[in-house]
Homo-oligomer: A and B are copies of this chain.
Amino acid sequence: MSATITDVARAAGVSPSTVSRALGGGPVNDATRATIVRVAEELGYRPNRAARELITGRTGTIGLLVPDLGNPYFSEIIKGASSRARAGALPIFVSDTDEDVAREREAIASLRATTDGLLLVSPRGSDEELAALAAGGPTVVVNREVPGLPAVISDAASGIAQALQHLGALGHTRVAYVTGPHGSWSDHRRREGLASATGLGIEIVHVPAATPTFHSGVLAADLVLTTGATAVIAFNDLIAIGVLDRLAARGVRVPHDLSVVGHDDIAMASMCSPHLTTIAVPKERMGSMAADMLLRTLDRRGASDDRDPSVLLPSTLIVRDSTGEVKA
């Protein structure tokens, strides 16, 4: 079908090995290389990925695994990662696990076989399991810390602290936290952030949410109202928007009667009504940085084996219209 390296070699009057070297950066006479490059261009030569992979053992692709492709939070991470991967001319496999641990395990195994490295976003498996699976090849984790693996995470404690300070300044003294899914690493971190933000004179009361979704938020809203809290911080924006929706239905005015703070700053946060005050995390940057770390790891494969340090990206509170002074 398309031109092979042999075709180019013949057309340029050299051997296939020379073409390989010329195109691959080996030692070749400048004039020869120029000719070969020109001829290759004319013939529209594209190296056959499979043949190259077979001999080098590298696939030239990376894999990205997220819990849910439909979740806008992950979409932005994907965008970041795929633009970085494109810059490195690496195709990227994207797959989702439907938030399921078994599917995650399976997906990691299958991606492993077809890629040189993996980006695991918000993985659900246990530390041990992930460490074992990650041993199969270069891996970078996003939104999670796994001992021994490089990670890209956001500074949850700082984000939470900013939110509490903001609420404190508005006079709130009793704040509800709507949790994330059970066992979620991110949720754990945010609870720690809440616990460590003492000295503000704010009391925290927890309200459970089973899933990080709009519907869980709707459910949680009624629970929040029974706690006597004057403000609520939600595990993520989707939950916060669910809370907002239910509050509106019940005639509770936001922020007049209750202040609401989300987390992540997905696009929807500035589209809902009222516009959501939220703790923004640099999603796209996390994706691109994770991809970047992975690519660098691949480049120096076998060279210095110093671990990539984990990266902590800043969270920033974005104040919009869903938070306000507490009314007496």
Chain A interfacial positions (CB closer than 8 Å to B): 1, 46, 48-51, 53-54, 57, 59, 61, 69-70, 72, 75-76, 78-79, 82, 86, 91-96, 110-111, 113-114, 214, 241-242, 244-245, 248, 267-268, 271-273
Contact = CB atoms under 8 A, between A and B. Distances in A.
Contacts of A82: 69, 94-96
Contacts of A79: 69-70, 96
Contacts of A53: 49-50
A49 B113 contact: yes
A23 to B, nearest CB: 16
B69 A72 contact: no
Nearest to A59: B50
A5 to B, nearest CB: 13
A208 to B, nearest CB: 21
Contact of A72 (B46, B72, B214): B72
A244 B268 CA distance: 13
15 contacts: A1-B57, A46-B113, A49-B59, A49-B114, A50-B50, A50-B53, A50-B59, A69-B75, A69-B82, A72-B72, A75-B75, A92-B93, A93-B93, A242-B271, A245-B271
Nearest to A58: B50
A147 B113 CA distance: 38
Contacts of A48: 54
Given A69-B75, A271-B245, A272-B271, A50 B46 contact: no
A79 B78 CA distance: 14
Contacts of A61: 114
Contacts of A268: 268, 271
Contacts of A94: 82, 92-94
A138 to B, nearest CB: 14
A231 to B, nearest CB: 20
A272 B241 CA distance: 8
A267 B95 contact: no
The 6 closest A-B pairs by CB, nearest first: A50-B53, A50-B54, A273-B273, A94-B94, A50-B50, A70-B75
